[in-house]
Amino acid sequence: MSENTELMKYVATTCPYCGVGCTLNLVVNNGRLVGVEPNQRSPINEGKLCPKGVTCWEHVHSPDRLTAPLIKKNGKFEEATWDEALDLVAKNFKTIYDKNGPKGLGFQTSCRTVNEDCYIFQKFARVAFKTNNVDNCARICHGPSVAGLSLSFGSGAATNGFEDALNADLILVWGSNAVEAHPLAGRRIAQAKKKGIPIIAVDPRYTMTARLADTYVRFNPSTHIALANSMMYWIIKEGLEDKKFIQERVNGFDELKKTVENYADAESIHGVPLDVVKDMAFRYAKAKNAVIIYCLGITELTTGTDNVRSMGNLALLTGNVGREGVGVNPLRGQNNVQGACDMGAYPNVYSGYQKCEVAENRAKMEKAWGITDLPDWYGATLVEQIKQCGEEIKGMYILGLNPVVTYPDSNLVKKQLERLDFLVIQDIFFTESCEYADVILPGACFAEKDGTFTSGERRINRVRKAVNPPGQAHEDIWIITELAKKMGLKGFDLPTAKDVWDDMRAVTPSMFGATYEKLERPESVCWPCPTEDHPGTPILHREKFATADGKGNLFGIEYRPPAEVADAEYPFTLMTGRLIFHYHSRTQTGRAVDLHREVPESYAQINVEDANRLGIKNGEYIKLKSRRGETTTLARVTDEVGPGVVYMTMHFADGVNNLTNTALDPMSKMPELKHCAIAIEKAGGN
Amino acid sequence: MAAKGDMVYAWAKDAEIQKKGECGGAVTALLKHALESKMVDAVIAIKKGKDLYDAVPVVITNPEELIQTAGSLHCGTLLIPKLIKKYLNGAKDKKYAVTCKGCDAMAFYELAKRNHINLDNIIMIGVNCGGSVSPVAARKMIKEKFEVDPDKVTKEEIDKGQFIIEFEGGHKGIKIDDLEEEGYGRRSNCRRCKMKVPRQADIAAGNWGVIGDKAGKATFLEICSEKGANLVNDAQSKGVLETSPADPKGIEIRGKVERAMLKLGDEWRHRDFDGLGKGKDRLKMMMEESSKCVKCYSCIEACPICYCVECSTKKPWFVAPGVLPTSFMFHLIRFAHVSDSCINCGQCEELCPMEIPNALFMHSQQVEIEKMFGHVPGRDMTPPIHALVEEKAERARLDATGTDSIFTNIFADE
C-alpha cells in the first residue's frame, strides 16, 4: 500500500455481490474508502453498476465491524488476542478430531469470499482433519446446476458468457429475474431487446425481466419438467429436433422421446395453454441460435437437478450448444459461487472438479500437500452438516456464512447449532449466527484483501486490496495459515493471495495457465485454461462435450411435484427470491443508507384476488405460517403473482426461512427453498 | 507578454515532455510549471491505466510524476469536476490545475454556480475535443472495422474527420462519418456536442491550426483569461515553455475545423431529436424506456447539475421506495431539476445499467428550453432559469412556515 496521504486513488476491483463480476473502482482518500466510481474499461459492465455495486463500499468502515477475536466465556463474548483465539480453536478441533475422527467436524465457506480463501480453507480441512466434510453455499443456490450440467454436458458451469446473448436469434429466460438478481446480465437482455432479438420469459412471476420480454409465459410454480417435456414432445412431433447434432454428439434420444410422449398436453400440471407451449417450442427449435438463461427458479427445488437436466435436454435436442449465441447459462448467484466450487470447497472434489473417489487424484493431492490418508468418501453437504450437528458432527468452522438467516428452516438451524460442542465463525460483522459461536475470528472484507472471484461466465476477476482491515482484523488467508501453523501443518507457508493461487494452480490442470499476470488484463481469462500460453475458453463444448465419451446426454425425466404442496390447511404456494436492493442476509446492504431506505423491512407479494378474498390491504402486516414456523411481514398486493401464489424475498432475519422446507433434492442435496405450503392471516390474528 | 485573447503556438522546453506529450507537450509543461511554482497544490489529470483504452484520473502533487499524464487518450469519458466536488471538497481548501474537455469546462461552471466548486481555486487547461469513444466500444470498433487486434494498437487519434490508429506494423484511418453510420464511433452525446473549443477555460489548447514546420511539434494555445495569461507568461519567463505567434492561416484553419465540427453537431442533433418523435409519442417513448430503471442512482450521482443533499426522488410521497418498475415521477423530477442546465456530458446515459438514453432525453429538453429562454448552460456564471437557493436555508425557511402550501411558501411575502 502506498502512503496514506494520497487523494482520490482509484483501485480497480471486482464487485462483491452477484455472479456477474462487474469491475468497479474503489476511491481511497488518506487510506480510507470514500466512494465507488465506474470503470469504463471493463468488458463486463463498461462502467455501469447496479444499486448494490455503487454502494458496495459503505459497509467497509462501519463502526460495528468485528475488530478483535472474541471468545465466549460464561455465555458472554470477551475480546482475546489472536494467539489465545487460535490456540483455543486448534486445541478444541484437535480434541474433537481425536475423539470423533474426520467426520466429527464440518467446514463451511461462503461463496462471497475470494478463491484463495476457499482453496486454503478446504486444504486446511483436508490436510488437518482428513475430512471431506467441506462445502460452500453453492449447495443452496446452484448445486443442482453443478450436478445437472455435469450429467448433461460433462461440466457444471455456464457454457457461454453473458455478452454472448447478443449473438443469439432467440433468448429463452427461464426462472431468472436477471434484471434484479444479476442486473448487468439483465442489461445484456435489455441490449438484446434493442437489437430486436426475440425474448421469451418463463416465470410464475411477472418480473422486471419478464417485462423486457416480448413473450411472457406464466406457469405454475415448480412444474418446469412438465413444461419442458411438453415442448420437447412437440419439437420431436414436428421433426424440429437437430438430427445431425443428435446423431453425432448426443446420447439418449430414444429414452427422451419415449418419456416425453406422455406430455403432449400437460396443461393440467403446468397451466400453460397448449398453443402457447407449441409456439414457444417451435420458436426455440427453429431459431438458428437460441440460448437458455436460467437461475434459481430452476434449481432451488427438490427436482433441481432434473430441472437443470431438462434445460440441457432442450438445448441438446435442438443442437443449441457449443458455439456463439447458444448454450445453457445458469446465472450464478454470488460473486464467487463458481469459484468456491472450482476451488474444491466441495465434499467430493478437489480444485478443478478432480474427484476424491479417484485413487490417482488422492495420490496426487497427497503428494502435493505432503500428507497421507486423504478420504475417498463423499462428505456431508451444507444442510446435511446442519442436520448432523450434535450427532456425528461436534465441531464446525464457518467462514463468512450466516446460516441462521439464509439456510432453510431457521428454527431447526438455531436448534442444531446449539447442539455443537464447538463452533468457530469467521466473519466481518457480528451476524445473527455469531450468537451461536464459541470463537469469532474477525476477517477482512473484499476491499481489504487481494485475490480473485470467478464469475458466472467462468471469468477469473481480480480483487485488489484498497485499504487495511480494521483493528486487529486480519486477511482470511493469514488467519487460516496461522491456524494451520499452530497445528504444526506443513504446506501453509503462503503469505500472499498469489502464493495461494499458485499453490492451487500447481494441482489444478484446468486452471494451470491462469496466472496472476494474465488476470491483470481487464479481459482476464475464462477457464479452462490449461497452459500458460492458452487464451482461456469463453465457450464450452465446441468440438466435444466434457463427458467421458465426449457426448452430451439426453435424459428421459418424469415430472415430480414438490415435497410439500398447498392443501386445505396451508392453501398457498410460497415462492422465494431476491430483490435488487439487498444481498442475502443484508449484513452488507443493510448498512448502505440508500438500500436500507429503499427496502427497510420484508414484504410478501400476494395476488389481488386472494387479498380481496382475505380482506388484506396493500401495505398492511400479515402473518404467514408453515408447518415449520411463522413470520410477520408487509403485504404487497399485486398481479405480478398469480392467484394462490405468494412471493417473499430471503433477505430478512426471522423472515421467509422460518417457513421454508429442508426437504432435499436427492441428487444435489439442494433444499426446497423455492416451494412450500403456507397459510396467511391478517397480523391482528383471528 | 501574452494576454487574454492571444493565440500562440507553444511547446515544452524539456526534451522528455516534448517527446511524450502531445504536440510538443505544452499542456504537460504548463501543468508541471503550475505545480512547481506553487501556483497550485495539485494537478488533476488523466493517466493511462491498464492500456491506452483505460483512462484513470489522478491527483498529482509531485511534479516528477506529471509525465505519466502526458499524451492524449480519446477513450477517456470521465467528467472530472464532479469528482472534485465528491472527493476533493469542491476545491474549497486547495488549488488545482485541471485538464478539461468541453464537457468538463461546462460542468465546472454549473457546479460553481451552485456553490459546489470554488472556481477561484481552479486553473482550467481546456483541450479541444472532437468527441470521445467509450473504451469497450473502441476496442470492438478496432477489431471489427479496422480488423486490427486492439491490444496491438499503440496510438489512436481523431484528426481531419478520421479515427486513426497506429499499431505494430502500420497505421489505418477510417472516416468517422462512415464509422458512425454503422453504429461505431463517438458516444452519442459527443456527436451532438457543440463545445469543441472550451473558451470558458483559462487556456484552450489543441492541435487544430498548427501548420507549417510546427505541425505536430507545437500546441495551439488560445489564452482565455488573465489567469491563463499569467500561467503562460510565468512558464515562459522561467524558461519551461516556448512560444511563437500563431500563423494567421493556421488560425483560419482552426476556425474552419471548429465550424465543421459544430455543423456536424447540429446534424446529429436533428437526427437524434427527430428520432425521439414528437409530442405524446415522444412522452410515450420516454416513459417506456425509463420504465426499465432500477434506481441505481448513477445518473444522479454522476450528474454535474444534481447536488441536493435531500434528493426529491427519495421522498416516498413522490416515488415509492423499493418498488420496481420505478415510477415515471423519478424521471420527471430529474427532468424538472436538471433540464434547464443540462450540459450533455453523457454520464447519465453512459453509466445507465439498463441502457436508457438518459442524456438524449435530457439534452432534447435542454435545447427546447434554450430556445424558449435563451439560457445557455456551462458557458459562464449566468445563473440558470430556476431560482437558486441555499438548500439548507431554504428548507428551513419553508419548514418554518409550517405549511406545504405553495402560495404561502412562495408568494405570500410578495
At which residue does the C-alpha cell 420504465 appear? B291
For chain A, positions 594-613, list CB contacts with chain B under 8 A.
594, 597-599
Tell whether the model's pLDDT for residue A523 goes beyond 80: yes
Average confidence (pLDDT) over A141-158 = 92
Residue A272 has pLDDT above 60, yes or no: yes
Q: Does position B411 have pLDDT exceeding 60, yes or no? A: no
For B119-170, the DSSP string reads GGGEEEEEE--S----HHHHHHHHHHTS-S-GGGEEEEEEETTEEEEEETTE
A672 neighbors A602 (Cβ within 8 angstroms): no
Q: What is residue B384's predicted lDDT score, i.e. its pLDDT?
A: 86
Q: Please compute, for residue A404, the number of CA atoms within 13 A of its CA located in the half-sphere on the CB side.
A: 17
Give the contacts of B391 (CB within 8 A, at least 6 positions apart): B307, B308, B309, B310
Q: Mean of the pLDDT values across residues B233-240?
A: 96
B59 touches chain A (CB under 8 A): yes
Report yes or no: B355 at the A interface, CB cutoff 8 Å. yes
Do the beta carbons of residue A405 and residue A433 sit within 8 Å?
Answer: yes
Helix (H, G, I), strand (E, B) or coil at A165: helix
> Residue B410 pLDDT > 60, yes or no?
no
Mean pLDDT of the A12-32 span: 97
Is residue A471 over pLDDT 90? yes
Overall average pLDDT of the A619-625 stretch? 96
The Cα of B355 is separated from the nearest Cα of chain A by a number of Å equal to: 7
DSSP B329-382: HHHHHHHHHHTTT-----HHHHT-TT---HHHHHHHHHHHHHHHH---TTSSSP
Task: Using the predicted structure, report yes or no on whether residue A654 has a pLDDT greater than 90.
Answer: no
Q: Is the pLDDT of residue A634 over 80?
A: yes
Nearest-angstrom CA–CA distance, A318 and A285 = 6
Instruction: Tell me how close the Cα of B352 comes to any Cα of chain A, in angstroms.
Output: 6
What band does A2 get if pLDDT is binned at 50, 70 and 90? very low
pLDDT confidence of B227, banded at 50, 70, 90? very high
The alpha-carbon gap from A205 to the nearest alpha carbon of chain B, in Å, equals 13
| pLDDT tens by residue, A186-235 | 999 999 999 999 999 999 999 999 999 999 999 999 999 999 999 999 99
Query: A5 falls in which pLDDT band (50, 70, 90)?
Result: confident
Q: Answer whether B241's CB lies under 8 Å from B28's CB.
A: no
pTM: 0.94
Say if A593 is an interface residue toward chain B (CB within 8 Å). no
| H/E segment holding residue A144 | helix A143-153
Contact B298 A190 (CB under 8 A): no
pLDDT tens digits, B79-121: 999 999 999 999 999 999 999 999 999 999 999 999 999 999 9
State how far residue B119 is from chain A, nearest Cα, in angstroms.
19
Q: Which residue of B has its CA nearest to A186?
A: B354
Q: How confident is the model at residue A530 (pLDDT cuts 50, 70, 90)?
A: very high
At B397 the pLDDT is 82
The region that residue B279 occupies, defined by phi over 0 for left and psi between -120 and 50 for alpha, beta otherwise, is left
* Residue B95 backbone dihedrals phi, psi, to 5 degrees: -100, 140
User: Chain A window 10-29: which residues touch B at a Cβ cutoff of 8 Å?
Assistant: 10, 12, 27, 29
- Please answer yes or no on whether A581 and B322 come within 8 Å at the CB atom: yes
Q: pLDDT, tens digit, for every residue of A71-130?
A: 999 999 999 999 999 999 999 999 999 999 999 999 999 999 999 999 999 999 999 999
Set of cell numbers at residue A623? 402473518
Closest by Cβ to A41, choosing from B135, B298, B321: B135
Q: A545: helix, coil or strand?
A: coil
Which CA distances in Å does B153 have to A198, A372, A683, B48, B301? 36, 52, 65, 14, 33
Window 40-69 of A, Cβ < 8 Å to B: 40-43, 45-51, 53-54
| Low-confidence winner among A485-489, B7-11, B381-385 (lowest mean pLDDT) | B381-385
Residue A51: which of B53, B295, B302 has the nearest Cβ? B295
A46 to B57: CB separation less than 8 angstroms, yes or no: no
* Average pLDDT of the residues in B64-70: 92
DSSP H or E stretch at residue A679? strand A676-682
Q: Given pLDDT bands bounded at 50, 70 and 90, which one contains residue A256?
A: very high
pLDDT tens readout for residues B308-364: 888 999 999 999 999 999 999 999 999 999 999 999 999 999 999 999 999 999 999
pLDDT tens for residues A31-83?
Answer: 999 999 999 999 999 999 999 999 999 999 999 999 999 999 999 999 999 99
Q: Find out whether A454 and A342 touch, Cβ atoms under 8 Å.
A: yes
How many other C-beta atoms can be found within 10 angstroms of the C-beta atom of residue A483? 24
E-only strand ranges, A353-408: 354-355, 395-399
Name the pLDDT band for B405 (thresholds 50, 70, 90). Answer: low
Cβ burial B337-362 (10 Å sphere, 16+ → b, else e): bbbbbbbbbbbbbbbbbbbbbbbbbb
Interface test with A, best of B296, B308, B319, B355 (most A CBs within 10 A): B296
SS3 A260: helix
Q: Cβ separation of B294 and A53 shorter than 8 Å? A: no
Mutate to test the interface with B, among A37, A52, A184, A582 (most CBs of B within 10 A): A37
Q: A-chain residues within 8 Å CB-CB of B293?
A: none
**Predicted pLDDT of residue A326:** 98
**Which chain B residue's Cα is nearest to A188?**
B354
Minimum distance, in Å, between the CA of residue B201 and any CA atom of chain A: 23
* Record: contact A7-B87, CB cut-off 8 A: yes
The three cell numbers locating residue B97: 490545475
What is the share, in percent, of chain B residues with pLDDT greater than 90? 84
Nearest to A580 among B53, B136, B324 (CB): B324
Instruction: Note the pLDDT of residue B388.
Output: 62
Task: Give the range among A583-592, B34-43, B269-278 with minimum mean pLDDT.
Answer: A583-592
Residue of B nearest to A619 (CA): B320
